[in-house]
Amino acid sequence: MGSQVGSAGLMLVNTLINIYLFLLMLRFLLQASRADYYNPLSQSVVKITQPVVGLFQGFLGPVAGRFDLATLAAGFVLKVISMVAIFMVVGVGIPPMTGLLIAGVAALANAILKIYFFALIVMIILSWVAPNASHPGALLVMQLVEPIMAPVRKVIPPLGMIDLSPIVVFIAINVVDGLVVGSLIRAAGISGALVGL
């Protein structure tokens, strides 16, 4: 009974850390896509993640350009430390450092792909239900996915009212998730449940 409660507790902690990692990667992608910083949802994401990101901004400096290295580093270090802590609590010994580092990269990639996956679903639903929505959440989703949709639209222009680019991006996300993230998890030798949501 005690071990079941302990493993449920570890799963809960791991899930909470993965949700926070999800928010950190959302902050990273919002910066990379140059989404509206003053959008209330952007501000909320920054406020929630700033305590951890602030620790890394001290030595990595403020954001320069589109890529926020402090946020990326914060997510990576948080995930690696959380995996080490879980292994120590479980008492199975810490895996090799190389495996942990690879698992950390896999976790970041997994979170980024999930954000794009969910954002695309929201974008598709919005395009049917409220194509001209001005809600801050709708605007943020559009700003987030546009940088990955625009290059695809150049290659596959919309056919009248039908835009095939989301389907192509969905396929690409699944391929990258299956091949790249899957390969990284296997190379790390760490359970996939610890790496992603």
Mind giving me the DSSP string for 45-93?
HHHHHHHHHHHHHHHH-S-BTTB-HHHHHHHHHHHHHHHHHHHHHHTS-
Please give the residue range of the domain that contains residue 9: 4-195
Per mean pLDDT, which of 106-120, 125-139, 158-172, 179-193 is the most reliable?
106-120
Q: Would residue 91 be called left, alpha or beta, if left means φ above 0 and alpha means ψ between -120 and 50 degrees?
A: left
Question: Are 36 and 143 contacting, i.e. CB atoms less than 8 angstroms apart?
Answer: yes
Total number of domains in the chain: 1
Question: What is the per-residue pLDDT for 1?
Answer: 47
Q: How far is CA 189 from CA 32, 36, 41, 109, in A?
A: 31, 39, 37, 16
Q: Which range, of 1-10, 37-46, 79-88, 153-162, averages the lowest pLDDT?
A: 1-10
Helix residue spans in the chain (DSSP H): 2-32, 40-60, 69-90, 97-129, 136-155, 165-176, 182-188, 192-195
Q: Which range, of 16-25, 103-112, 133-142, 176-185, averages the lowest pLDDT?
A: 133-142
